[in-house]
Amino acid sequence: MLEYWCWVPLLLQSLSHHYSYLSPAYLKAWNILKGEDERSRPPQKLPIETINRLVQSKNVNGSLYQTRLLHRAYFDMKVHQSLSINVIKSLDIAGEWNRLQTELSYLDGPESNDWGHGHTNFDALMHAYDAG
């Protein structure tokens, strides 16, 4: 529902509202929480500069999502394109999963590749997956 229209700057600003402006009780609660007086009260609406930064950052995690899909596709091909069952039996599945994740996502895990078992939660095989 909020996918597209919520990123229109003027709509975002009209939706925004700091809770301290809702009632005197909320203002008092905000003052107690912040330990400040009314002169340092934040603006009632989000500033347009803040909204513009939000709009500019809305797709920032898209590349991380694509990297995650790429990692899973590489892992799938690594496991399922072996020519021999003996190769699969000798493969360190968790280590390969972790190595590929670190290599493709540039997100470091612990020192060794035996730190997790993400391959056990490879749910993409059940929906919306058609790589390997």
What is the number of structural domains in the chain?
A: 2
* Residue 34 and residue 48 share a domain: yes
Q: How far is the C-alpha of 19 from the C-alpha of 97, rounded, in Å?
A: 46
| Summary count for the chain: helices (H), strands (E) | 6, 0
**In which domain, by residue range, is 73 found?**
62-126
With respect to residue 3, please indicate whether it lies within any of the assigned structural domains. no
* Model pTM score: 0.55
Say yes or no to pLDDT of 12 above 70: yes
* Residue 117 and residue 67 share a domain: yes
With respect to residue 92, please indicate whether it lies within any of the assigned structural domains. yes
Domain stop point among 39, 56, 73: 56
* Residue 52 and residue 66 share a domain: no
With respect to residue 2, please indicate whether it lies within any of the assigned structural domains. no
Q: Which pLDDT band holds residue 19 (cuts at 50, 70, 90)?
A: very high
